């Protein structure tokens, strides 16, 4: 008769099986992590530690995605052998970067949490979930909201696969109480940011209890990886829905290019070793699950696949990473070289100041005098000569080409009234010069604001242009900007005052005398006076039509002038002289002011600006340039940022150079 089993015999057997399974698992992982793979992973790990991603260089990363409660965190727990936060709703509320590092010499696991710009919190397996929850609450709040600020969990432990994975918040379409209404959009945005780079491997966690094509995580991964070449699927909860699972993972209706791995995660109070034993039994003895190929089942298989995939993507991406590091290092070095050197004394500051002034004047001479726009080919506001030419053209158009007339004024009645008020004791056919000057003054006054508007517009444009170019060339010395602006404003005030005086003199010159040597005056006056007899006949002979057409005036009605026959002839002559003379006035106002503007701008660029800037910044014992000695916060920050960037990139370059040397050496063997 056989002996009865002793109490506790079965648990003892399970414990032995668990130990055996643990040894098998560790052995399988170690076997997949040979000398050819480890250098690649170490190199990328060092690049991550250097935070080369801050330079915009993407590193190969395994990104874990899945619908809410698909078992993402359980898969990570199984790989790492530690417990992560559990609860209702979204358990992962921030990206959790898990850096698993096999440490054969570790007597005990070493865990630490890194977040919030370098904060490091050591922890233990027993407390890691609480520490992650506390960090999550600090970043995303104590409610149920999410954040895109990551937390990094470093796990150094004997027997874990060397992997870096990012666990992202689970996808949920319907917000639960306490979650924001746009929770889906927030989660989707974070997921897309992580899975879009071509360097990312998408680990899509799917529950066996759902139809794969209906999973939101599948839809998202297909948007960025249509061929599935970057996607590996992990199927969880296989013991809850074993029916038809074999067909689902072999038919591949959702285009998973890297294939499927079916797993059983820890249940209840099982240890991780016990969970592996149960997983092995499940896929070995279950009537349906045992039919799935052994290369597609189990956490050890998943670990091996992930390590192989990660090594392959690293090897593929490494040449491009090398190129990006070299490009960014060259760009940062050039940018640092182009920054101004530190100024040590006033003499240095004065030299730099005059160098800046020379650059500014050279640029202004190009755009305001020579019409050379090579510095600003596509920026129209910097094409100074063209813009000033447009202003002068518009100014000429605003000046009436014909002598201005009073609105709704009967033909020549204005002249008749002036003649009546300027008549004196003189010969009856004598045209009073005073009448002409009175009329001239009235006509000039109708346009006296037009030239003033021109010079105001020109100097407003020139001031803006000078300031922009001055700020561009002195961008590394913002300490001197206020003094430079003040100097430019003072200079423009003087220029405006000179131009206002010039406009005033131009108008006064037109009123001081009725003079022109322009032969066009006599020609125009003669052409108009050829119609004098026709005009007088229509005025004096009431039997003639009162509407006639005259050269220079067009069709006019003279019936009202039959009451002023004695002044009609003089009025006609006066209008003829004003009409002929007006062309000379307009020509002088246009040409005179245009030449004044061009000369003033040329003088400003070649002489006045340098003098004004010198007076402002070099006076009072060089007080202005002394401010240049004080380092600018923005310049100092930029310089330090570039220096740190160069140090980081050089270290990164050394890391990748070493690994490339090892790869090349291995290839030569």
How far, in Å, CA of 61 to CA of 412, rounded?
91
Q: Is 547 helix (H, G, I), strand (E, B) or coil?
A: strand
> For residue 337, is it within any domain?
no
Same domain, 315 and 368: no
Same domain, 426 and 525: yes
Same domain, 120 and 245: yes
Same domain, 306 and 350: no
CATH number of the domain bearing residue 414: 1.20.120.1240
How far, in Å, CA of 229 to CA of 337, rounded?
43
pLDDT at 490: 93
Phi, psi torsion values for 153, nearest 5 degrees:
-110, 115
Token pair, residue 466, equals: 């000078």
- H, E, C per residue of 600-662: HHHHHHHHHHHHHHHHHHHHHHHHHHHHHHCCCHHHHHHHHHHHHHHHHHHHHHHHHHHHHHH
Q: Determine which helix (DSSP H) or strand (DSSP E) holds 519, and give its type and residue range.
A: helix 519-529
Question: What one-character-per-residue DSSP string does 554-577 give?
Answer: EEEE-GGGGG-HHHHHHHHHHHHH
Same domain, 159 and 306: yes
Number of neighbouring beta carbons within 10 Å of residue 547? 11
pLDDT at 33: 45
> For residue 474, is it within any domain?
yes
Token pair, residue 14, equals: 């399970």
How far, in Å, CA of 551 to CA of 531, rounded?
7
> For residue 10, is it within any domain?
no
By DSSP bridging, strand 260-262 and strand 231-236 are: parallel
Phi, psi torsion values for 67, nearest 5 degrees:
-65, 160
> For residue 327, is it within any domain?
no
Q: Is 268 helix (H, G, I), strand (E, B) or coil?
A: coil
Which of 284, 306, 322 corresponds to the end of one domain? Answer: 322
How far, in Å, CA of 41 to CA of 271, rounded?
29
Q: Determine which helix (DSSP H) or strand (DSSP E) holds 167, and give its type and residue range.
A: strand 163-167
Name residue 234's beta-bridge partners.
205, 261
Same domain, 437 and 516: yes
How far, in Å, CA of 85 to CA of 65, rounded?
16
Nearest Cα residue to 305 out of 158, 152, 203, 197:
203
Same domain, 556 and 603: yes
Q: Is 155 helix (H, G, I), strand (E, B) or coil?
A: strand
pLDDT at 637: 79
What does each C-alpha distance from 237 to 208, 262, 573 come to in angstroms?
Answer: 6, 9, 110
Nearest Cα residue to 584 out of 403, 432, 406:
403
Same domain, 36 and 76: yes
How far, in Å, CA of 184 to CA of 179, rounded?
10
Which of 307, 322, 337 corresponds to the end of one domain? Answer: 322
Domains: count for the chain: 2
> For residue 370, is it within any domain?
yes
Contact 607, 560 (CB under 8 A): no
What does each C-alpha distance from 485 to 470, 578, 607, 613, 617 come to in angstroms?
Answer: 9, 47, 17, 9, 11
Q: Can you give the residue range of the structural domain that contains 616? A: 346-629
> For residue 338, is it within any domain?
no
| Segments of the chain scoring below 50 in pLDDT | 1-15, 18-34, 89
Tell me the per-residue pLDDT of 319-359, one tens digit each, with 9 for 90 and over. Answer: 888 888 899 899 988 888 877 666 667 777 788 888 889 99
Q: Determine which helix (DSSP H) or strand (DSSP E) holds 114, and give its type and residue range.
A: strand 110-115
- Where residue 551 falls (left for φ over 0; alpha for ψ -120 to 50; beta otherwise) is beta
Contact 558, 506 (CB under 8 A): no
Same domain, 492 and 557: yes
How far, in Å, CA of 139 to CA of 58, rounded?
24
CATH number of the domain bearing residue 173: 3.40.50.300
Q: What are the start-end ranges of the H helices in 215-298?
A: 216-224, 245-251, 272-285
Contact 465, 363 (CB under 8 A): no
Phi, psi torsion values for 261, nearest 5 degrees:
-135, 125
Same domain, 259 and 162: yes
> For residue 562, is it within any domain?
yes
What does each C-alpha distance from 332 to 54, 343, 353, 635 come to in angstroms?
Answer: 13, 22, 26, 14
How far, in Å, CA of 366 to CA of 359, rounded?
11
How far, in Å, CA of 493 to CA of 487, rounded?
10
Question: What one-character-per-residue DSSP string does 72-112 give?
Answer: HHHHHHHHHTS-----SS-S--S-EEEEEEE-TT-SS-EEE
Same domain, 313 and 373: no
> For residue 100, is it within any domain?
yes
Q: What is the pTM of this model?
A: 0.56
pLDDT at 15: 45
How far, in Å, CA of 660 to CA of 43, rounded?
10
Same domain, 350 and 315: no
Nearest Cα residue to 634 out of 469, 467, 471, 484:
471
């Amino acid at each position: 008769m056989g002996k009865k089993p002793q109490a506790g015999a079965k648990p003892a057997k399970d414990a032995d099986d668990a130990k055996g399974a643990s040894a098998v698992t560790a052995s399988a992982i170690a076997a997949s992590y040979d000398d050819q793979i480890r250098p690649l992973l170490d190199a990328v790990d060092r690049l991550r530690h250097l935070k080369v991603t801050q330079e915009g260089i993407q590193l190969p990363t395994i990104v874990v995605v899945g619908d809410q409660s698909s078992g993402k965190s359980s898969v990570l727990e199984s790989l790492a052998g530690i417990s992560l936060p559990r609860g209702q709703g979204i358990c992962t509320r921030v990206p959790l970067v898990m850096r698993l590092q096999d440490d054969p010499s570790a007597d005990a696991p070493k865990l630490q949490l890194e977040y919030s710009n370098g904060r490091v919190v050591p922890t233990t397996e027993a407390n890691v979930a609480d520490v992650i929850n506390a960090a999550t609450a600090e970043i995303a709040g104590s409610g149920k909201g999410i954040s895109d600020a990551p937390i990094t969990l470093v796990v150094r432990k004997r027997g874990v696969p060397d992997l870096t994975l990012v666990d992202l918040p689970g996808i949920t379409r319907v917000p639960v109480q306490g979650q924001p209404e746009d929770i889906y959009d927030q989660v989707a945005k974070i997921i897309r940011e992580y899975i879009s780079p071509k360097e990312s491997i998408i680990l899509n966690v799917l529950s066996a209890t759902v139809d794969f094509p209906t999973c939101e995580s599948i839809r998202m991964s297909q948007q960025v990886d249509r061929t599935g070449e970057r996607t590996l699927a992990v199927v969880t909860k296989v013991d809850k829905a074993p029916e038809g699972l074999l067909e689902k993972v072999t038919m591949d209706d959702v285009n998973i290019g890297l294939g499927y791995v079916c797993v059983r995660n820890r249940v209840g109070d099982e240890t991780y070793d016990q969970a592996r034993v149960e997983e092995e039994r499940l896929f070995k003895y279950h009537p349906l699950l045992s039919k799935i190929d052994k290369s597609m089942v189990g956490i050890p298989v998943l670990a091996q696949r992930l390590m192989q995939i990660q090594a392959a993507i690293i090897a593929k991406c490494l040449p491009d990473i090398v190129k990006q590091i070299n490009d960014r290092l060259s760009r940062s070095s050039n940018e640092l070289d182009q920054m101004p050197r530190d100024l040590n004394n006033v003499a240095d500051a004065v030299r730099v100041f005059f160098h800046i002034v020379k650059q500014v004047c050279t640029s202004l001479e190009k755009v305001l005098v020579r019409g050379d726009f090579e510095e600003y080919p596509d920026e129209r506001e910097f094409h100074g000569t063209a813009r000033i030419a447009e202003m002068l053209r518009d100014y000429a158009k605003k000046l009436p080409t014909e002598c201005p007339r009073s609105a709704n004024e009967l033909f020549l009645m204005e002249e008749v009234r002036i003649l009546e008020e300027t008549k004196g004791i003189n010969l009856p056919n004598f045209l009073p010069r005073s009448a002409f000057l009175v009329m001239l003054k009235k006509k000039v006054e109708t346009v006296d604001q037009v030239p003033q508007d021109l010079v105001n517009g020109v100097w407003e444009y020139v001031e803006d242009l000078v300031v922009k170019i001055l700020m561009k060339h002195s961008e590394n010395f913002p300490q001197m900007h206020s003094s430079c602006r003040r100097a430019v404003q003072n200079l423009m005030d003087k220029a405006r005052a000179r131009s206002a005086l010039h406009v005033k003199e131009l108008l006064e010159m037109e009123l001081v005398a009725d003079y022109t040597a322009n032969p066009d005056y006599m020609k125009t006056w003669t052409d108009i006076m050829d119609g004098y007899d026709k005009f007088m006949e229509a005025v004096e002979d009431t039997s003639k039509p009162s509407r006639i057409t005259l050269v220079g005036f067009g069709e006019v009605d003279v019936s009202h002038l039959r009451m002023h026959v004695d002044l009609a002839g003089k009025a006609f002559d006066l209008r003829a002289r004003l009409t002929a003379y007006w062309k000379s006035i307009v020509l002088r106002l246009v040409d005179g002011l245009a030449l004044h503007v061009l000369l003033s701008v040329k003088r400003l660029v070649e002489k006045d600006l340098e003098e004004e800037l010198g007076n402002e910044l070099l006076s009072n014992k060089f007080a202005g340039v002394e401010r240049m000695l004080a380092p600018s916060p923005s310049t100092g920050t930029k310089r330090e940022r570039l220096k740190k960037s160069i140090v980081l990139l050089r270290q990164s370059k050394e890391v990748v150079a070493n690994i490339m040397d090892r790869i090349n050496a291995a290839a030569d063997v």
